[in-house]
Amino acid sequence: MLELRHRGGCPGPGGAVAPPPREGEAAGGDHETESTSDKETDIDDRYGDLDSRTDSDIPEIPPSSDRTPEILKKALSGLSSRWKNWWIRGILTLTMISVFFLIIYMGSFMLMLLVLGIQVKCFHEIITIGYRVYRSYDLPWFRTLSWYFLLCVNYFFYGETVADYFATFVQREEQLQFLIRYHRFISFALYLAGFCMFVLSLVKKHYRLQFYMFAWTHVTLLITVTQSHLVIQNLFEGMIWFLVPISSVICNDITAYLFGFFFGRTPLIKLSPKKTWEGFIGGFFSTVVFGFIAAYVLSKYQYFVCPVEYRSDVNSFVTECEPSELFKLQSYSLPPFLKTVLRQETVSLYPFQIHSIALSTFASLIGPFGGFFASGFKRAFKIKDFANTIPGHGGIMDRFDCQYLMATFVHVYITSFIRGPNPSKVLQQLLVLQPEQQLNIYKTLKTHLIEKGILQPALKV
């Protein structure tokens, strides 16, 4: 019926819709014109109505192969599928946590590389789904342009990071100074080249689908690259702003799964039938307690609380500083009912522990909606997991769907409630300026201080 309304014709043999005869044209008109018209109509019928497809029209994607190690399969062969999956998930979770601890020990630079690697893998998984769903159309340049845009967006975001945090290093390299000075223009030129390549790749029978996949690529970039950039920005504020939010999401995933596995009875949301209210509530309280304790432990060490800075003299990242007030013990008066229970007037806490409650609450109440969003996406394309990278867990994106939402919240939280002027960052920005600009700033600042009476004018001899 939709086709009839669009074309004003009626179906012929095989369901094809014949266009109405043109004005002044006989029914038995020119055969060549009719043949060409029919051919164009067939192409439109085949490729042009993609936006009218329902979820049931999406082609089935073959399920991913099982990548569980054979040694685990043999060891768990006598268990039911439910308990087998429980043990596989548990063993792989402990393995991933152990590797994560090792990377933390190796330092902030390795954590940045880890975030970048996860970003690339998540992008690959989402783009591959689009390619597998629509591969029968054989879109020209689709994969090439997708990866090109990934490089362009990474160049833009991480070039900004280099300019902000590596100014002293850039100062010594003349080639880098040129790249930093014209960074945004170069980034725009690179993107513009990709945009032009996309336009040149448009093929008549693929128009609508190509624009669908162009939008697919850009939404994927928004989800993966921008969020991973925010994760690294949080890391530069101090490793604690990276570890507490990420570990809170991990804790919520684990505890919600455990509470749901053993006590779950009440379904939570239709998008994820295995999620239960028992798991959701149990995960919330467990995560808040975990975040509070983790914040207390990590606040004791400079390695975790100091901003990550690049030192040109040692050519490496350092985490040395005088901890801010957020990470110094302070006494707080207890509410009257707690004074009676605990039999003490005050309690000593790190102020960051109070902030950790907000972070943990978001991780356990709002963070799961990132997972629900991912569940809806997978249901739309009739897939169980984004990939089969991790046995029992699915793809990398399956494990980090909630982390991206958390990264944005932490960045907004820091800029709204925590961050003040960073003297080292201001100094780095000054060092990048030309000597004449530095001299003008110095004269303006000196004049201002003299006017305020903070600085005495030099005596003329």
- Mean pLDDT (the chain) is 80
Q: What is the pLDDT of residue 206?
A: 82
* 3-state secondary structure at position 444: helix
Measured distance CA(348)–CA(341) in Å, rounded: 16
Closest by alpha carbon to 205, among 147, 146, 132, 136? 136
* 3-state secondary structure at position 272: strand
**Residue 295 pLDDT > 80:** yes
Measured distance CA(190)–CA(149) in Å, rounded: 9
Measured distance CA(21)–CA(31) in Å, rounded: 13
Q: Report yes or no: 303 and 317 within 8 Å, Cβ to Cβ.
A: no
**Residue 280 pLDDT > 90:** yes
Mean pLDDT along residues 345-349: 90
Tell which wins on pLDDT, 43 or 87: 87
Q: What is the pLDDT of residue 428?
A: 55
DSSP 10-27: EE-GGGPEEPPPPTT--T
**Band of pLDDT at residue 296, cut at 50, 70 and 90:** very high
Summarize pLDDT for 187-233 with one digit per residue, the tens. 999 999 999 999 999 988 888 888 988 999 999 999 999 999 999 99
Summarize pLDDT for 220-267 with one digit per residue, the tens. 999 999 999 999 999 999 999 999 999 999 999 999 999 998 999 999
**Band of pLDDT at residue 79, cut at 50, 70 and 90:** confident
Q: How many CA atoms lie within 13 A of 80 on its CB side?
A: 2
Pairing mode, if any, of strands 272-276 and 267-269? antiparallel
Q: What is the pLDDT of residue 273?
A: 85
Q: What is the pLDDT of residue 426?
A: 55
How many Cβ atoms from other residues are within 10 Å of residue 382's Cβ? 14
- Which of the 8 DSSP states describes residue 327? G
- Residue written as token pair 């439109």: 44
Mean pLDDT along residues 108-119: 93
User: Of all residues in the chain, what percent are helix, strand and coil, respectively (each to 5)?
Assistant: 70, 5, 25
- Over pLDDT 90: what percentage of the chain? 40
First to last CA, the chain: 96
Summarize pLDDT for 419-455 with one digit per residue, the tens. 754 555 555 556 656 677 767 777 777 776 666 566 6
* 3-state secondary structure at position 344: coil
**Residue 287 pLDDT > 80:** yes
Measured distance CA(413)–CA(120) in Å, rounded: 26
Measured CA distances, 202 to 132, 140, 178, 216, 217 (Å): 20, 8, 35, 16, 16
Q: What is the pLDDT of residue 438?
A: 67
Measured distance CA(214)–CA(208) in Å, rounded: 10
Measured CA distances, 60 to 55, 56, 133, 382, 396 (Å): 11, 9, 8, 6, 22
Q: What is the pLDDT of residue 15?
A: 43
* 3-state secondary structure at position 390: strand
**Band of pLDDT at residue 5, cut at 50, 70 and 90:** very low
* 3-state secondary structure at position 448: helix
In this prediction the pTM is: 0.75
**Residue 354 pLDDT > 90:** yes
